[in-house]
């Protein structure tokens, strides 16, 4: 008897961990920079440089990259201006990962939970931050499923077998890759030339992934913001724009419609100020690499042999329990938020909004009674110009708490242990309500894939022997079987070595369903 098998590839989480650590450092202002009076604007990103693996532990080497825009000291308001500085704080952390082996591939998700900058004196700052490291190992599994029995060579061995449907996610693509973004923009006509850039930042405001034939298509938008000193007058000016980008990476065997689960991190980033054809510094070049962790899945449903017994022989079936990944739900959520921001009495009055930055931070994800709840907050930073600040930009910081609730009745709490979640703010705007009050409006987008790992008993081998003579002797020539609760034709046939088809034929049954109290005629 030959088992006809089909090879499949799936994933399961082998090990994962979460480590939250404080990261602090005192930084000195370089001799080429003016004294610090007040921090105006800041941002930070976590970059992982290297992950070393060992037995049951990893070492994560990386750095916190920071950028600061500050107001300089001056004897009078006219002497005060803006300056910028940037740098990084390195770290190395050892993290325990159960079941990890030296050859396993580790993916580490990072998050900057909090960053605060304090002025120690005009030449020294203190950076206090909290970062999260979430390493995870997902192992690829290749399994063989028995989809049919071939007994053409053993016609004297009559077998009865039944099949069941198995739904799972087939892993088609699993790879790391890079998307290189090379874009440029130029200052609009009428804006003064760039003398020196004090702040340069390019952030991905939105990004979308789409599986295509033999490739992964990527589209998104870069939000570019610079603060600069004008070339001739030396005054402070700023420019903000959105640059769309698109690209693709090769993914062998990818097809349209596959489920794309992609993690991304910003790698190398460089913003340059270049001359245009007239020799004026008006061109802003952006070069960024996006590090991609790509997984493409295809929903599969296949019919496999669930159980087998012999009618004219004794069958010993080898059964092994295997685990398979399936997709419970694919959520795409859009939530609109708004927030009024009132200035302090001592703050300069608002003349013009220059720039706003909003970062969504998720604090808690829970699923109870069929309801998914996402709790977190939006961290807002707004820069505005004022007639009272003598050309120096003024900062406003605020937070917008949010709670997103969605009904997903088909998913239980245990299944929430495995999910992939991305949260971003594709649209935001700040408007002036009056000289002391702003209003922020934004849209929070959440994409969430919730997986489920299920166990199935899989037929792996068969051993066939002649039926023992004593067993044959004990079988009745015919019998009347009274159906008990929970009985099925399959169980009855297996007990008496009779095929299900034969039982249905003898009892004039057209369906497999029977109920307690029914009388079933069994003929040997």
Ranges of the chain whose pLDDT falls below 50:
none
| Residue ending a domain, choose from 138, 166, 186 | 138
The answer to the question of residue 201 being in a domain is yes
Query: 365 and 436 in one domain?
Result: yes
Q: In 257-370, where do the E strands start and end? A: 259-275, 281-310, 314-342, 352-368
Query: 276 and 166 in one domain?
Result: yes
Query: 160 and 293 in one domain?
Result: yes
The predicted pLDDT at position 452 comes to: 87
The answer to the question of residue 469 being in a domain is no
The predicted pLDDT at position 155 comes to: 55
Number of domains in the chain: 4
The answer to the question of residue 79 being in a domain is yes
Query: 416 and 361 in one domain?
Result: yes
| Residue ending a domain, choose from 82, 114, 138 | 138
Q: How far apart are CA 425 and CA 217, in angstroms?
A: 21
Query: 246 and 158 in one domain?
Result: yes
Query: 352 and 408 in one domain?
Result: yes
DSSP 67-80: EEEEEEP-SSGGG-
Q: How far apart are CA 329 and CA 166, in angstroms?
A: 17
The answer to the question of residue 395 being in a domain is yes
Per-residue pLDDT tens for 332-362? 999 999 999 999 988 999 999 999 999 999 9
Query: 308 and 386 in one domain?
Result: no
Query: 194 and 123 in one domain?
Result: no
The answer to the question of residue 1 being in a domain is no
Query: 504 and 373 in one domain?
Result: no
The answer to the question of residue 146 being in a domain is no
Nearest to 432 by CA among 420, 444, 440, 424: 440
Q: How far apart are CA 507 and CA 355, in angstroms?
A: 80
Q: Read off the CATH number of the domain in which 492 is found.
A: 3.10.350.10
Query: 131 and 71 in one domain?
Result: yes
Per-residue pLDDT tens for 40-68? 999 999 999 999 998 899 999 999 999 99
Query: 296 and 352 in one domain?
Result: no
Query: 231 exposed, middle or buried (CB, 10 Å; 0-12, 13-18, 19+)?
Result: middle
Domain that holds residue 86: 14-138
The predicted pLDDT at position 368 comes to: 85
Query: 167 and 298 in one domain?
Result: yes
């Amino acid at each position: 008897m030959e088992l006809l098998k089909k090879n499949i590839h799936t994933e399961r989480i082998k090990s994962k961990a979460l480590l939250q650590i404080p990261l602090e450092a005192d930084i000195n202002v370089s001799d080429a920079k003016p004294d610090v009076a007040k921090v105006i604007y800041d941002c930070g990103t976590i970059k992982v440089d290297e992950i070393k693996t060992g037995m049951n532990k990893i070492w994560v080497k990386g750095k916190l990259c920071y950028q600061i825009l500050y107001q300089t000291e001056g004897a009078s308001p006219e002497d005060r201006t803006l300056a910028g500085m940037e740098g990084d704080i390195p770290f190395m952390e050892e993290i325990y990962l159960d079941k990890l082996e030296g050859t396993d591939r580790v993916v580490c998700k990072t998050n900057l939970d909090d960053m605060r900058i304090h002025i120690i004196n005009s030449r020294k700052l203190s950076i206090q931050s909290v970062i999260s490291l979430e390493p995870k190992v997902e192992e690829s599994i290749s399994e063989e499923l028995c989809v049919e029995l071939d007994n053409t060579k053993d016609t004297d061995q009559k077998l009865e077998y039944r099949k069941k449907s198995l739904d799972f996610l087939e892993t088609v693509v699993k790879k790391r890759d890079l998307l290189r973004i090379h874009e440029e923009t130029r200052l609009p006509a009428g804006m003064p030339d760039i003398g020196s850039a004090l702040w340069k930042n390019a952030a991905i405001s939105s990004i979308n992934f789409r599986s295509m034939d033999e490739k992964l298509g990527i589209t998104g938008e870069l939000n570019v913001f610079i603060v600069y000193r004008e070339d001739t007058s030396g005054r402070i000016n700023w420019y903000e724009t959105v640059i769309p980008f698109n690209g693709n990476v090769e993914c062998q065997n990818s097809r349209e419609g596959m489920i794309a689960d992609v993690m991304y991190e910003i790698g190398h980033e460089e913003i340059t100020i270049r001359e245009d054809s007239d020799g004026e510094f008006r061109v802003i070049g952006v070069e960024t690499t996006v590090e991609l962790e790509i997984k493409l899945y295809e929903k599969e449903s296949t019919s496999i042999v669930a159980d087998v017994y012999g009618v004219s022989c004794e069958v010993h079936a080898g059964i092994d329990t295997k685990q398979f990944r399936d997709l419970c739900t694919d959520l795409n959520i859009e939530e609109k938020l708004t927030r009024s921001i009132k200035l302090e009495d001592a703050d300069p009055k608002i003349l013009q909004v220059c720039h706003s930055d909003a970062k969504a931070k998720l604090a808690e994800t829970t699923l109870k009674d069929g309801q998914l709840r996402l709790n977190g907050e939006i961290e807002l930073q707004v820069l505005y110009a004022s007639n009272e600040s003598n050309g120096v930009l003024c900062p406003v910081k605020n937070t917008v708490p949010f709670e997103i609730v969605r009904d997903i009745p088909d998913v239980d709490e245990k299944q929430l242990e495995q999910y992939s979640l991305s949260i971003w703010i594709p649209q935001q705007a700040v408007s002036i309500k009056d000289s002391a009050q702003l209003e922020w409006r934004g849209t929070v987008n959440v994409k969430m894939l919730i997986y489920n790992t299920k166990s199935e008993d899989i037929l792996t081998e068969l051993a066939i022997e002649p039926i023992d003579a004593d067993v044959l002797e004990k079988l009745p020539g015919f019998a009347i079987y009274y159906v008990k609760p929970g009985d099925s034709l399959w169980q009855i046939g297996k007990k008496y070595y009779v095929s299900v088809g034969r039982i249905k034929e003898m009892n004039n049954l057209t369906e497999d369903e029977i109920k307690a109290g029914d009388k079933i005629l069994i003929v040997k």
